[in-house]
Structure 1
Amino acid sequence: MRKSVLVIIASISRRSGGISSALDLIEAFNILGYKVNVGVAKYPPSIYRFYNSNFLKLALSKIKFLDNRLVKNPFKSRIRSVYSIFNFGKISEDDFNKYDYVIDISVLNERLVSNFRNDVNTIFVKNHAGSVESYKKSFSNNEEESKKSYLESFKSYDRILFQSKTQSLECISEFNELEGKQIVIEPSCEEESVLRSQFSSPPYLKNKDKINLVNVGSLQKRKGQVLSVRLLHELIKSDIKCELHLVGGIIDENYLTQINKVSEDLGVAKFLFVHGHKDNYLDYMAHSDIILQTSYSEGVSRILREAMLMEKPIATFSISGTNDLLDNDCAILATPFVVEDLANKIKAALKDNNKLNNLKQNALNEYKNNNSRTAYYKNILSTFK
């Protein structure tokens, strides 16, 4: 008999890679026969109220979910069996005691968990989305304060759920007090949606005489789109005809202003296209020539996983999280944040079709071995037993 699981999540949306991976986990639990309840948390964080089914029905009728199709009637879809949303005010022991696992997608207060942990039989699991360094910076830019807050945030939990083996080891290396809590489940993706996108029509006016670089990610400093613009300039300077398409919601208006200014200063503004958030972002990827990612930090990027399955050439930096997915046999990997190195390696790869084809095939094989649905389900079953 499968275990019972409560997943507490901040929102139901595919716009965030971290939340999207959590939704994948919820769906997998359901498919594998676990008893799953999902709580969508409503702040303030001192009291956790969970939306009732009427709210859920309204929400799901308006958003794209799971397979990127609009859910017209959620209670006639497969989602019905995934979700049991319920109401309660202040959390009590009984609310947790009926579950074998409570998985917190960065919602619960660590003091609340600490208060209940010794009084219930539930195993509390906190999701760790992203690198240790970026997680620390989410607390404070002061190194000492960030380390203290990070440790406080995780030490109350029985387990810490990572998507990256490397980032799990980083945690142990820096915080030996947390050793023994780490579990790793390498994520998959919505394979049906990814494969279906390859039969789509181009969502933008595609210039077949140019290399179409597509970078998918919300527009914010951490995602490093300014570096992509600088890369575009380096390639054009070397007489490579190319265009850059940025696809992602605008998180930071000031950063968008910076992106546009840099493109104008470098004289490449007419080769840059900012599309904003697109529900059909997979179609943009499907019609790209190269998937480009120039982030300063990532977890185990959903976009890169999807690119691997699509068999698209990938150009990115060799950073934590990304290195769990890709090596030099699978992608165009460059020294972190050195635009010239990435540009030179892209130029070399474009001159060698055999190399590009090998990169795509090797990336697909890596995906099948480590991130396919089959591998993903097997890992879940061995971890939550």
Structure 2
Amino acid sequence: MQTTTQAAVETTGTVPLAEASQPARLISLDVFRGVTVAAMILVNNPGDWGHIYAPLEHAAWHGCTPTDLIFPFFLFIVGVSIVYALDGARRQPEAHGRTMVRILKRSAILFGLGLFSALYPKFEFETLRIPGVLARISWVFLVCGVLFLKTTWRQQMGLLAFVLVLYNVLLQVVPVPGSGPANLEPATNLGAWLDRLVFTENHLWSQSRTWDPEGLLGTLPAVGTGLLGMLTGQWLRRKDIEPATRVAWLFVAGGAAVLLGLVWNGWFPINKALWTSSYVLYAGGLAMTALAALYWLTDVQGYRRFTKPALVYGVNAITVFFLSAIVSKTLNLIKIGDVTLRAWLYNTFFTPYFSPINASLAGAVVCVLIWLGILWVMYKKRIIIKV
């Protein structure tokens, strides 16, 4: 834990220079991260999994709902954050060794938290799911962190294009051992085969056991999402270009990425579970435009009154994501009569007063608000838990 002090917003004439007040940190990035993790809490904690509004569910397979944008937005944010966290170390080659140790340590902690979350509360190692959300974040952070230290932005652009084309070829050209021709079906695509080979079925997503939405091969294009974030972060740090110009070109780049993703969707469909190349560009382009808008409002123009709830979530994002999963599982351990505490709370305070689908949504919203209250207290006390 550590304490932080927010810098005051400076102004010159009529144009706020909020971005000058925190040269090493973007308020817009914390806001974007906070909105994203709050959305994670919302979609991961419905009152009733059998009654969910369509936008709060993942696409059945091909396609993209608002919920499918949450995870790529977070990995994009990871990429931007790497630039702001490691730019100083990047300029000091003699410090690269120590920095890589820090990157490796943080990746290991994230991976370990993911394993603990998957094990809790039964700790059945024989059916432990090894891939997962925190595992993928750890791998993307590790690879992108090293690439940021050791490559130029031009090389990162080239790597991004190479990764996206390579992944398209792997999934649509390379035959799948034991299954036949290349295909994009859930259990028979190349990524699913690789996950079963490396992890075995006992250590994959419990709802399928034959494939995993956070599988090993899909981490390759997920790194591409992180690279898009890194490229965006480096563009935003360009002090030789006026903020308005930076924002304008970021909107252009984001729009172009979305358009290219939609075009590519024609033969390599947008798919979150496969993390297809079209999905990387489509979701990454939307993330660029969202961050550009927030950057202009909060870091350049200094409009921050509306940002406090998102900031409260954003500065402890991994903490609330991890703890919310642990608390949810704990509520299912405690019994009141014949039902779990979680079910009792839901049946007592929500189902009598709403339709089934609205009760489910209300339960999720209240969960978000409860965590907001907890995080607000932490924020006021300057408690920021860094992984």
Relative to its length, the structure with more strand (as a share) is: 1
User: What TM-score results when the alignment is normalised by the length of structure 1?
Assistant: 0.24
Relative to its length, the structure with more helix (as a share) is: 2
User: What TM-score results when the alignment is normalised by the length of structure 2?
Assistant: 0.24
Q: Which has the higher contact order (CA 8 A, sep 6+)?
A: 2
